[in-house]
Amino acid sequence: MQIQENISLKNYNSFGLDVNAKYFSVFTDIPSLAELLETGRHPFTTERSRRLLILGGGSNMLLTNDFNGLVIKNNIPGIRKTAEDEQHVYVTVGAGENWHETVMHCIDMGWGGLENLALIPGNTGASPMQNIGAYGVEIKDHFYQLEAWDIEDKKTVIFTAAECEFGYRESVFKGRLKNRFVITSVSFRLDKNPAFHITYGAIREELERQGVQDLSIRAIADAVISIRRSKLPDPAVIGNAGSFFKNPEIPASQFEELKSVYPEIVGYPLPGAMVKLAAGWLIEKAGWKGYREGDAGCHAKQALVLVNYGNASGHEILKLSDKISESVREKFGVHLQKEVNVV
């Protein structure tokens, strides 16, 4: 186990923000994670929320300052089938496995369920953190259980789906139990005879455009990949962390009031007389789409994505995000909650 000092995190976060970690270490199994956290040299866990940063692929983080503590990068490998019955296979994936490669491996094996989630950046270990979702599917739909290392009680704990308290871009690990557990592996229940989810309009259109006759999990993944490439900036080219804000959920009555003023407003009905608004629409209508201030900007093709054109600082991106949410609040009376984890 090696602890490096004063390491730049520029290549470890998809915004490409150049901040330093005071201490940095990579672990590939649970014993070395435990040893790392126990190291007598640095009492990292005494003020755990301020001194320890668990890093996956860094694709949902806004790093605003040098990190004056220990950054631990989770590289635990491995994908294996652990059980099966007539309809399902159970697959356990090490937290350090790249998410997209996990999805493609499952497709290669003919195991269905994750195909709508192709090309989401980051690692499998972070996928439960905000219950990643796209194109009508969330991981909670195929989640079985996960294993996590309890930093306080120093033991491995299993969490079922109910215990993860999954919600829209939420879980217990992003909320109440933030920084207490390091997720070490995630298990999925996948389908041998998958049901195809193509209700999301854009997928159907893309499948038609590609002339797909025989629907398959691979064809769905290909359609999703193609849509995502056409809309979202590639972090390898322009720094970003995907949607910066969540899509806000408001009462249906408030939606009707907004609709009377803005008939073209985009909203999707939810249970409980609520409506989910498209934050990208709100931000575009507030005039921010394509806006740039120094190297911080609001993407020209997707207003929900804030970008770093090169040398923006985390503070500059945060300042821009505050201006955007303030103007959306003034214009529409709607609060935008950040999806990205600000560190």
Q: Annotated active-site positions, please?
A: 169, 243, 339
Own/partner contacts of 319-328, CB < 8 Å, gap of 24 or more, are: 320/291, 320/293, 320/296, 321/244, 321/245, 324/283, 324/286, 324/288, 324/298, 325/245, 327/286, 327/287, 327/288, 328/279, 328/282, 328/283, 328/286
Out of ligand EPU, ligand FAD, none, what residue 284 binds, judged by CB under 5 to 8 A for its kind, is ligand EPU
30 binds ligand EPU (CB under 6 A): no
224 binds ligand EPU (CB under 6 A): no
Judged by CB under 6 A, which stretch of 18-26, 156-164, 171-179, 242-250 contacts ligand EPU?
242-250
Judged by CB under 6 A, which stretch of 57-65, 156-164, 269-277, 296-304 contacts ligand FAD?
57-65
187 binds ligand FAD (CB under 6 A): no
Query: Would you say 74 or 102 has its CB closer to ligand FAD?
Result: 74
135 binds ligand EPU (CB under 6 A): yes
- Cα separation, 328 vs 332, in Å, equals 6
Out of ligand FAD, ligand EPU, none, what residue 116 binds, judged by CB under 5 to 8 A for its kind, is none
Among 183, 190, 219, 296, the residue binding ligand FAD under the rule CB under 6 A is: 183
For the chain, how many helices (H) and strands (E)?
A: 9, 20
Sign of CA dihedral 66, 60, 303, 235: positive
Cα–Cα distances (Å) from 20 to 17, 56, 206, 337, 340, in that order, read: 9, 16, 42, 27, 19
| Parallel, antiparallel or unpaired: strands 20-27 and 52-55 | unpaired
CB of 340 to ligand FAD, least distance (A): 8
131 binds ligand EPU (CB under 6 A): no
Out of ligand FAD, ligand EPU, none, what residue 246 binds, judged by CB under 5 to 8 A for its kind, is ligand EPU
91 binds ligand FAD (CB under 6 A): no
Residue type, 148: A
16 binds ligand FAD (CB under 6 A): no
User: Which helix (H) or strand (E) element contains residue 229?
Assistant: helix 217-231
Q: Going along 60-216, which residue ranges are E strands?
A: 61-62, 67-74, 79-84, 88-94, 133-134, 137-138, 143-150, 155-160, 181-191
CB of 331 to ligand EPU, least distance (A): 14
243 binds ligand EPU (CB under 6 A): yes
Judged by CB under 6 A, which stretch of 92-100, 180-188, 205-213, 276-284 contacts ligand EPU?
276-284
281 binds ligand EPU (CB under 6 A): yes
Among 29, 163, 249, 284, the residue binding ligand EPU under the rule CB under 6 A is: 284
Footprint on this chain of ligand EPU (rule: CB under 6 A): 134-135, 231, 242-243, 246-247, 266, 278, 280-281, 284, 289, 302-304, 339
Footprint on this chain of ligand FAD (rule: CB under 6 A): 14, 53-61, 74, 95, 120-123, 125-127, 129-130, 132-134, 173, 182-183, 232, 235, 240-242, 341
